[in-house]
Amino acid sequence: MKITRSTTLGEILRNYKNAEEILLGFGMHCFSCPISQMETIEEACAVHDLDCDFVLSKLHDDLVEKNN
């Protein structure tokens, strides 16, 4: 699965077992919130004032590459 700006947090969490740990490292703590299942990584980065490209790079390096 490729993670893009439009990938939802729910999709990331369902597809990658270590995703929560990485996202927590960026200060994203609201995984139990129902909106997180529909919120895109781009929207979450905007809410948390994070550079989306950096977060996507980290997710890709730590999740996608290690699972291929």
pLDDT at 62 over 70: yes
DSSP line for 5-30: TT-BHHHHHHH-TTHHHHHHHTT---
Confidence of residue 9 (pLDDT cuts 50, 70, 90): very high
CA atoms within 13 A on the CB side of 39: 18
Tell me the mean pLDDT in the region 44-66.
90
What gap in Å lies between CA 35 and CA 22, rounded to an integer? Answer: 19
* Per-residue model confidence as pLDDT tens digits over 14-53: 999 889 999 999 998 877 778 888 999 999 999 999 999 9
The answer for residues whose C-beta is within 8 angstroms of residue 17's C-beta and 6 or more apart is: none
